[in-house]
Amino acid sequence: MSSGQLSIYNSLSGKKEIFEPINAPFVGLYVCGPTVYNEAHLGNIRTFLTFDIVYRYLTHLGYKVRYVRNITDVGHLVDDVDFGEDKIEKRARLEKIEPMEIVQKYTNSFHHTTQLFNLLNPNIEPAATGHIIEQIEMIQKILNNGYAYEVNGSVYFDVKKYAEKYNYGELSGRRLDELLEQTRENLEGGEEKRFFADFAIWKKASPETIMKWNSPWGIGVPGWHLECSAMSTKYLGQKFDIHGGGMDLKFPHHECEIAQSVGSEGISPVKYWMHGNMLTVNGSKMSKSLGNSFLPMELITGNHPLLDKGYSPMTVRFFFLQAQYRSTVDFSNEALQASEKGLKRLLSSIKLFDEIKPSDKSSFIVKEIIEKCKKSMNDDFNTPITIAHLFDGIKFINLLKEEKETLTSEDLSILKNHYKTYVFDILGLLADEDDANPEILSDVMEIVISLRKKSKENKDYATSDFIRDELNKVKITLKDTKDGTTWEVEK
């Protein structure tokens, strides 16, 4: 059996293609990062996990990956249309602090979250506000090439002109005539645009706008889609290997990215477009605005109406990996509880290796397990099938332990290494939840303890008891002393 080469489902062609990097062994990977105006919810985490697996597996295959994941700290407007308030500024006004304080606060929180879920850091994490010059230069090139026009201090991408020569809609499969129907309601302020599908690449700032910059067209703000084009070009070149993001970014964000790169450089920027599917709740996309989202803290404490109990970040990681990234995952307590059990079983089977005695007779099964795992990961990062193969192997490991099967010491160490590599390096699971980050756990516990204190002060003893009891279930004991509350993890 051959495990073959890596193939990736390319959203641009709509089929799986053999992965052939533009400049092997180097691989450029760009992932649209968070808009840092609030805390990342579990749905966002699923998407970032998808690309964490892509990064880990490519690295495992020996590629030298440059992984760029941006921070959107300006330009992302409420409702994603060209005429609205900046999401970060809106939040800053609500919290009565500087937009950059919002940016810092939620960038820090995002980093805590990525550590909690054991997501590897990108090699470069560029911020949109740090690349205004590059964005202005790109606008200038698009204007020079005739694919944009200036109106009253704003610059719009000329979709109609672009579509005369290129295929606008090639990624999302949308046709301009269909778009007209869908965007009718969003035409507010559209009188500046020559064509309904044109999009702002530079927006004139109103006097109240706080974050704004000087440009050849006056004081304004770059359009949201532009930052990813400018920063991916800067760090990965005009054409790079993989661009990822959630499915909901295909249109308009990624479609516009292609148009901007083609409009400025004349080159379609990405060889493989990858899109992760959504985390849903009762079939609807998890999103903050629908009120069906939960945050890492709520997940850990179980303090949310949708949660029967708290779940560890590794349980959630494992739960997500039990679905292929292109399928939706519907949240359910039952599935999370099954993942909790499954993960325990997988991790405890790895511990069994140290108890197995080698012999002088081996089994072909070792090779078979290894080849099957490679094959499934090579098949567009199919983690659920890979996990199923790892579980098949557990039966064999148990037989070895019971001395009903035997392996030479060499094969035993190959199998053990295989499990460790797949479970810890590729799937990124942690053997011991405490490994996640002791500092994070302390931070999280501080928040939990203050929540409990607040509920006691409000005489909401049901909540304070709930917090204590739920922590007990995950082996964390709280001790109330006259100097405050301390906590301890039972070993």
Residue 80 interacts with ligand AMP (CB under 6 A)?
A: no
Question: If you ran DSSP here, which 8-state letter would residue 60 be given?
Answer: H
46 binds ligand AMP (CB under 6 A): yes
Beta bridge partners of 29: 67, 242
Residue bearing tokens 């919810």: 41
Task: Tell me which stretch binds ligand AMP (CB under 6 A): 263-271, 284-292, 376-384, 461-469.
Answer: 284-292
Residues 6+ positions from 214 with CB-CB distance below 8 Å: none
Among 200, 228, 270, 274, binds Zn ion (CB under 5 A): 228
Residue labelled with tokens 């067209």:
217
Choose which of 56, 131, 271, 285 interacts with ligand AMP (CB under 6 A). Answer: 285
Residue 228 binds which one of ligand AMP, Zn ion, none, with CB within 5 to 8 A depending on kind? Zn ion
Site for Zn ion in 50-109 (CB under 5 A): none
Query: Which listed option, ligand AMP, Zn ion, none, makes contact with residue 317 (CB within 5 to 8 Å by class)?
Result: none
Binding letters toward ligand AMP, positions 25-44, x by CB under 6 A? -------x-xx-------xx
Q: Least distance from C-beta 424 to Zn ion, angstroms?
A: 30
Q: Provide, for the chain, the percentages of residues in helix, strand and coil under a 3-state DSSP scheme, each rounded to the nearest 5.
A: 50, 15, 35
Tell me how far apart the terminal alpha carbons of the chain are, to the nearest angstrom: 44
Is-contact 61 6, C-beta < 8 A?
Answer: yes
| Chosen residue from 29, 197, 200, 278 binding ligand AMP by CB under 6 A | 278
Q: Alpha-carbon Rg of the chain, whole angstroms? A: 25
Q: Which stretch binds ligand AMP (CB under 6 A): 15-23, 199-207, 282-290, 444-452?
A: 282-290
CA distance 117 to 432: 13
Q: What angle do CA 366, 367, 368 make, to 5 degrees?
A: 90
Name the token pair of 259: 């148009």
CB of 223 to Zn ion, least distance (A): 11
Binding mask 227-246 for ligand AMP (x = CB under 6 A): ------------------xx
Q: Can you tell me the distance from the alpha carbon of 436 to that of 112, in angstroms, rounded to the nearest whole number?
A: 10
Q: Scanning residues 247 to 266, which ones bind ligand AMP (CB under 6 A)?
A: 248-249
Q: Which residues make Cβ contacts (< 8 Å) with residue 471, sequence separation at least 6? A: 301, 448, 477, 478, 487
The continuous run of DSSP H or E covering 244 comes out as strand 240-246
Binder among 103, 236, 286, 366 for ligand AMP (CB under 6 A): 286
Binding residue for ligand AMP, selected from 71, 236, 279, 471, defined by CB under 6 A: 279
Q: Which stretch binds Zn ion (CB under 5 A): 26-34, 424-432, 443-451, 480-488?
A: 26-34
Q: Which is closer to ligand AMP, CB of 247 or CB of 451?
A: 247
How many C-beta atoms surround the C-beta of residue 330 within 10 A?
15
Q: Which residues bind ligand AMP (CB under 6 A)?
A: 32, 34-35, 43-44, 46-47, 245-246, 248-249, 278-279, 285-287
Contacts with Zn ion by CB under 5 A lie at 32, 228
